[in-house]
Structure 1
Amino acid sequence: MTRKLAFLTGVAAIVLFWSLAAQANLPAILPGPLAVAKVLGLLLGDPGFWSGTLGPSLGRASGGLALAFAIGAPLGLASWRWPVVAALLAPLRLILMGLPAPVLAILCILWFDGSTTTTILTVAALLVPVFQIAVAEGMGAIDPQLDEMARLFRVPPIRRLRRIILPALWTALGPALRIAVANAIRVTLLTELLSGAEGLGAAVQRAQSWLQTDRLFALVLLILALIGLAEVALAALTRERKRP
């Protein structure tokens, strides 16, 4: 309860500071919380916004996240099982981890047509190393003595997977997922903004170009809310996995 109260107090402090700052500025520069909340309500009540803006962005972020996991998880298993594979993939992993997201997004836009595929590939390329490292480290966290004991006592494979392998794997994969989901949304927004693909990124670009600052702030709040909801859901899943 203390942590929740502290969180709400922090939110209230930000809103109060925002309100005071908005009173000292023009609405076109810094709209107040009430004006932004009104626009946000209009956006959420518009079916066209869900189908034409929010839906495509969430679909691209989810597609990139799924593709990154589908590629990164097997690479992580191979890296854990065969160190030579880890060494072979290390240069590519370092390139993908060190390459700034805007640069990779621009390259993907140049190589492809700036469509949904471009955004999905950009998200996946940036997140594959995250899952590769997480899976390799999670498998490396398995207690070898406990695993050997399970083999000696002929523990069924499914039970061994649930009780030994998955808990160790989740110690690294859980935090990686929390980071990856937030980054998937941010990279999707960035790629859409640069490519002009219809979605949250294009909506942000239009709001900025037309000086619709209240709409811009509403879109930012929506993006933060999406990341926050994903964070809460994954944190709850992590706590659930830790229960015996």
Structure 2
Amino acid sequence: MQMAAERLSEPTGDDRTAMPAGKRWRPARRTIATVLFIAFVLVAWQIYSLFVPPVQVPSPLRVAGRFYTMWSDPGFLLYAGYTLQHVLASVTLAFSLALTIALLVYFFPVLDTAVYGRLAPFLNSFPGIGWAFLALIWLGINSQAVIFSATAAMLPLAMINIGAGLRELNRETIEMSVSFSRSPMRRIRLIILPMLFPYFFASLRLCFGVSFQIVLIVELLCGAKGLGSIINFARSRYWTDMIFAVAILILVVVYLVDRLVLARMQDRIGKVYNV
């Protein structure tokens, strides 16, 4: 009787195949919903563009034509490369500085009030446009001004997120690591950094998305080479389709990098370290 009950409690072949099939359908449903939403937006955009002049809202076909002519030109690709360099440099600097400051506060708690109670709120409330104008005065019209402004604007975001991760670390695990090694660098490399990976990638993905907004504004104000200067050029000539094309390019780049690069790296590293 007991063996028969165990056989009855086990899932049958149909049950075992039914559940994965349902899970397989979920991504397909999300894909269909995404495609339908994009199609709805394009149709609504096309209909609305019929009732307003192109200088206000150009049609999707007009924007697609401008997109093709712009990004098949090596000159525009060069300017897009400048913006990508500015973004990567500013994200790297902001992330590295935030990690260094957060670790200093973690090992020297006396700095907690000065950093999270004074410095972080000040940097977080200081407008990015203010950093752009200061960079113009201090550094001039160049790439260094763009990188400095974007780094200063993103620093509090990364600092607050990484600091929150350090405060949420498992204290028992940290105490156990102290009993095994007295070297702070060894504890950071083997214990603290792996435990911080979820917060790292949350900060990195947030900064990467925000960085394009800040970099474009600073490039537009500073006049440095990049997509911001292309937007300024299009604005002066009322080429609204070019502004739409630049916005769509940034949207596509941010989405692809976030989903195809950062998200996959986070999943792979999380499986290695079980976080």
TM-score normalised over the length of structure 1: 0.89
Q: Deviations over 1:110-155 (max 9, x none)?
A: 332021111000011112222222332223332222344456577x
Residue equivalent to 1:239 = 267
Cα distance, 1:235 vs structure 2? 2.3
Which of 118, 124, 131 pairs up with 2:158?
131
List aligned pairs for 1:195-206, cutoff 5 A.
195-206=222-233
Alignment of 1:105-184 (within 5 A): 105-149=132-176, 161=189, 164-184=191-211
Deviation at 1:82? 1.7
8 Å contact kept, 2:209–2:254: yes
1:100 partnered with 2:132 = no
Report matched runs for 1:28-39 at 5 Å.
28-39=55-66
Which residue of structure 1 lines up, in the alignment, with residue 44 of structure 2? Answer: 17
Question: Residue 5 of structure 1 aligns with which residue?
Answer: 32
Could you list the runs of 5+ residues in structure 2 that have no partner in the other structure? 1-26
**How far apart are the structure 1 equivalents of 2:126 and 2:56?**
33
Contact 1:137 1:169 in 2 (8 A): no
Say if 1:193 and 1:228 are closer, same or farther in 2 by CA, change over 3 A: same
Compared CA separation, residues 200 and 160, structure 1 to 2 (3 A)? closer
Question: For 1:134, what is the secondary structure of its paired residue?
Answer: helix
Name 1:75's counterpart in structure 2: 101
Amino acid at match of 1:114: I
Q: 1:14 to 1:117 in 2, by over 3 A?
A: same
Q: 2:105, 2:111 within 8 Å by CA — same for their partners in 1? A: yes
Q: 2:254 aligns with which of 210, 227, 244?
A: 227
The root-mean-square deviation of aligned C-alpha atoms, in Å, is 2.3
Q: CA 1:183 to 1:28, structure 2 compared with 1: closer, same or farther past 3 Å? A: same
Kindly indicate whether the alpha-carbon contact (under 8 Å) linking 1:76 and 1:131 is maintained by their aligned counterparts in 2: no
1:162-189 deviation digits (Å, cap 9, x = unpaired): 5x43342022221111110111111110
After the TM superposition, which of the residue ranges 232-241 and 197-206 deviates more from structure 2?
232-241
Give the conservation status (yes or no) of the 8 Å contact 1:72–1:132: yes
**Further displaced range: 126-135 or 91-100:** 126-135
Checking the alignment, whether the CA contact within 8 Å between 1:141 and 1:168 is kept in structure 2 is: no
- For residues 6-30 of structure 1, what are the alpha-carbon distances to aligned partners after superposition, in whole Å with 9 as ceiling and x for unaligned? 2222222211111111111222221
Could you say if the C-alpha distance between residues 204 and 149 of structure 1 is closer, same or farther in structure 2, counting changes exceeding 3 Å? same
- Superposition deviation, residue 45 in structure 1: 1.2
Corresponding letter in the other structure for 2:133? I
One-letter amino acid matched to 1:56: Y
Q: Distance in 2 between matches of 1:8 and 1:102?
A: 37
Q: 1:148 to 1:80 in 2, by over 3 A?
A: closer
1:40-65 CA-to-partner distances (Å, cap 9, x unmatched) read: 112221112112x1011111111111
Which amino acid is the alignment partner of residue 69 of structure 2? L
Q: Percent identity?
A: 27
Could you say what secondary structure the match of 1:142 adopts?
A: coil
Aligned in 2, Cα 1:107/1:159: closer, same or farther, shift over 3 Å? closer
Does the 8 A contact of 1:150 with 1:160 survive in 2? no
Number of residue pairs aligned between Structure 1 and Structure 2: 241
